[in-house]
Structure 1
């Protein structure tokens, strides 16, 4: 039997979670051995460029471009050829700006008064009215902070009132084989009332807050390892760090940031200690995962590549990651295509869910619901996959 289980995708963006859904059973381990049983029937977003990206990679998915606050659930269902209760899964990550640490300098965000926070209510509304078998919601970990307690409690209560039993957990992408220290909260619930059990980490290593390493697990995937096999490519001039702090950025060693140029380190004594954000002039380390890729970084916001490059004048300069490298950091397939210019592509990538992290969650849910066969213990499976690459 060739299963085709329909999925509704909200706040789809470029389709990181959508891609995870349709690849969740790789290697193919469905009951009929055909691969992932899930197909995204309809995807919605207000970002037309992101939906163009999604269409390039998933031409079978019907897309709706518009404001979710004015898009009736029935319109979404009809676009996907669905009725209430038909969808196996509803996925989506409401825009994270209201809950992101990078927005805490704005008072309304810090006080959880951002009007976009109400998009969580729209997610609940579509879950309640479309009645899927299960849902997965993804967002930044800041959603769980005390400053956003009212919004988060309302989200959980709304999902319970809709007839589900939401469970949530903050996952570190690097602990699931993604070469990025990116923390995200996942909220998962099933219509049948059974509790979702989150997957256990398969990888371990040092992060920005943890120094204890579990040596029974696979080491974190570093960037050098993640970039293996990428063809040498011409670096675009726009990816070279020029301007006011160009010399200083080029002098920062891998793993360091602007603090290198304070009186406590060996660089120039230019900045005051802890006077900037951590990502200011941040250089990546080749044998560690990247820090979080941002959607709209400023000109001096890293992480920048650990190697310097010469500009047209022969001067040593730091450089930004290429699109191919960013896709590897976010575990998008190499063949994945993005619409739009360089800035728009960075925004889409930075806003996306790392594909492999999404796959881990989706696959675990599909196993527990009986739609795909259970695979090996997570660490053993990850070991086998790494060995297959050697």
Structure 2
């Protein structure tokens, strides 16, 4: 089955559709490093490098060797800055459709109209569907109605915010998905297959979340990769924080020293993975003290980040770590894409093939080792011990300890502007 891919990036969506039996017949990507990475790992993909606004739908179809109406699916995640929650918290509001970058939605709709695939999938940050701030979603839905009027299609759209961990991905990552059928077939999102330990029971069909240990437990504790040391002002504090905790450990409500006020930093500040829990969201552009970090008190290696994103094994990179982190942090977990691609095949394309077990789900690794021992507080931080003011507001989240299995914890609680040291 054929897929046309827009805003391909490193290929997170494409890898999942590939695992479900789709061929990327044409891919469009602007970023030169991402294009070089795609050519290195998937030279068979017909790649168009450039700004989608300068690439015609006819050129995309020609590259794919297809005519309008022939593609099985159109996939893509338009750049999400106009609808980013982090942008909303830092700036007080997001520009959304007033931002010129929102034109990426228009370009997606243009290619959908001109190629008329049998089905489509559009992925974006969940800020796209915020109640009262959903101009982007309404713009897409109205655009699809216009396509139906002009092209005589019957595209129907179903949208939902999915947490990747609930489908076997060893990472908490929430994204919005819009899926539609040209023939008006309603799409039913698959029910979650995994849950937190607190929700798991023997009479529940769901499995426990896949964990960071499941994903990377077989890899070396100290990889042969440069630039994994955590530097900056706070890097030496990381060994004093337990697995699964962050800077809140060193507040009046935590178990460490009182170095910070409660909720005065980003949630991901000095955030460390726990072996027995899913990873927190891999960041695209983290600061020096922004995690998640490995339980061995270092940055995650390229291979580890690929595993946590459930990418296929053996991917190669011909670029620096900053570019690797950016591409991986911006990508969709490929296992979640595989799950959705299988459902698109079954429901919207009426394919009866038996595909067998999921190809990209990590194995369960047991036993899980005990947490790493804590280190002593370095002397250079002792002068910071004292009374520190808490964040003045309660925000949206309670003061209880969060774990990756908590529904509230699947959102990024950016309750104040970041402090940069």
* Other structure's SS at 2:227 match: helix
Where does residue 173 of structure 1 map in the other structure?
164
Q: Aligned equivalents of 2:45 and 2:312: distance in 1?
A: 18
Deviation at 1:387, TM superposition (A): 8.2
Q: State yes or no: 1:107 paired with 2:91.
A: yes
Q: More deviation in 118-127 or 225-234?
A: 225-234
Where does residue 8 of structure 1 map in the other structure?
4
Where does residue 372 of structure 2 map in the other structure?
none
On the 8 A contact 1:284/1:291 being kept in 2, the answer is yes
On the 8 A contact 2:73/2:120 being kept in 1, the answer is yes
On the 8 A contact 1:111/1:147 being kept in 2, the answer is no
Distance 1:100 1:235, change over 3 A: farther
Where does residue 371 of structure 1 map in the other structure?
351
Deviation at 1:352, TM superposition (A): 0.8
Q: Aligned equivalents of 2:52 and 2:318: distance in 1?
A: 22
* Other structure's SS at 1:17 match: helix
Distance 1:185 1:86, change over 3 A: same
Deviation at 1:97, TM superposition (A): 2.0
CA RMSD of aligned residues (A): 2.3
* Other structure's SS at 2:156 match: coil
Q: State yes or no: 1:19 paired with 2:15.
A: yes
On the 8 A contact 1:222/1:289 being kept in 2, the answer is yes
Note the residue ranges of structure 2 that are not aligned, 5 or more in a row: 149-154, 367-421
Where does residue 349 of structure 1 map in the other structure?
328
On the 8 A contact 2:210/2:362 being kept in 1, the answer is no
State the TM-score, normalized to the length of structure 1: 0.85
243, 248, 251: which one aligns with 1:262: 251
89, 92, 97: which one aligns with 2:81: 97
Where does residue 236 of structure 2 map in the other structure?
247
Q: Aligned equivalents of 1:43 and 1:15: distance in 2?
A: 9
Where does residue 303 of structure 1 map in the other structure?
292
Deviation at 1:264, TM superposition (A): 2.0
* Other structure's SS at 2:243 match: coil
* Other structure's SS at 1:229 match: coil
Q: State yes or no: 1:130 paired with 2:115.
A: yes
Q: Aligned equivalents of 1:109 and 1:76: distance in 2?
A: 35
| Aligned residue runs from structure 1 range 53-64, under 5 A | 53-64=37-48
Where does residue 187 of structure 2 map in the other structure?
196
* Other structure's SS at 1:299 match: coil
297, 317, 322: which one aligns with 1:338: 317
Q: State yes or no: 1:320 paired with 2:331.
A: no
259, 272, 278: which one aligns with 1:289: 278
Q: Aligned equivalents of 1:104 and 1:366: distance in 2?
A: 36
Deviation at 1:340, TM superposition (A): 1.5
On the 8 A contact 2:215/2:363 being kept in 1, the answer is no
Q: More deviation in 225-234 or 120-129?
A: 225-234
On the 8 A contact 1:367/1:374 being kept in 2, the answer is no
* Other structure's SS at 2:133 match: helix
Q: State yes or no: 1:156 paired with 2:166.
A: no
Q: Aligned equivalents of 2:65 and 2:252: distance in 1?
A: 64
Deviation at 1:276, TM superposition (A): 0.9
Distance 1:182 1:143, change over 3 A: same
Count, aligned residues: 355
Deviation at 1:233, TM superposition (A): 5.1
Q: Aligned equivalents of 2:344 and 2:169: distance in 1?
A: 19
On the 8 A contact 2:217/2:365 being kept in 1, the answer is no
Q: Aligned equivalents of 1:350 and 1:79: distance in 2?
A: 28
**Which whole-Å deviations, capped at 9, do the CAs of 1:90-128 have from their partners, x for residues lacking one?**
100001222222222453862423221221111111101
Q: Aligned equivalents of 2:34 and 2:93: distance in 1?
A: 25
| Aligned residue runs from structure 1 range 229-248, under 5 A | 229-231=218-220, 234-248=223-237
Note the residue ranges of structure 1 that are not aligned, 5 or more in a row: 25-35, 308-317
Where does residue 103 of structure 2 map in the other structure?
118
State the TM-score, normalized to the length of structure 2: 0.79
